[in-house]
Chain A
């Protein structure tokens, strides 16, 4: 069974801090790894990663995949209160998308 494990489960930081979120996986026929941000109901897409070692960046967010060690990290620099959310990691394997439990990030002013 596919497994996606995120850590930490939650963290609290102050504005301006940098956070690093971790995602490790065991997936049959791995295709890609995705990161989502969930603030209310629906997750919003952040990144899709398919190749090892290639960093993807979007503003203050960046992510990288290590297919040898089977993990990914999501970095958020200069955090703002608007970054407070649950960050979900998911993997595409055979016919299905498997989600981790998420990391709840709280950014305090």
Chain B
């Protein structure tokens, strides 16, 4: 595609529910990254994929968070039993390969947990 797309753009959910966030990277980009940005905070790295594998999952905030990528393309970030502190903007980015020059960011998903 022309750019990184994410869906939904906004998600409001109740505490305790599960949510799934989707990222479509730029076609041909093998590396995909998830970040979150809480209100007034900097960007927090969550996880990255090279192809379908994630070499380092230590950035995920808790075991309620999981991510997968299939077919080297679309990735989903799943948050189980959401908590209010999960409210943030979740950003996805892709790059041609791990460590390549530039990461292209998607527009983000604003998650609000009531």
Contacts and interface: CB of A to CB of B under 8 A. Distances in A.
B108 A88 contact: no
Interface string A39-53: 001111100100000
B56 A45 contact: no
Given A41-B89, A41-B91, A101 B106 contact: no
A42 B45 contact: no
Contacts of B99: 31-32, 92
A41 B55 contact: no
A96 interface: yes
Of residues A31, A90, A97, A100, which shows the largest number of chain B Cβ atoms within 10 Å of its Cβ? Answer: A97
Interface string B23-55: 000000000010100000111110010000001
28 contacts: A31-B99, A34-B103, A41-B91, A41-B107, A42-B91, A42-B105, A42-B106, A42-B108, A44-B105, A45-B102, A45-B103, A45-B104, A88-B42, A88-B43, A90-B43, A94-B56, A96-B45, A96-B48, A97-B45, A97-B48, A98-B45, A99-B35, A99-B43, A99-B44, A99-B45, A100-B42, A101-B42, A102-B42
Interface of A: 31-32, 34, 41-45, 48, 88, 90, 92, 94-102
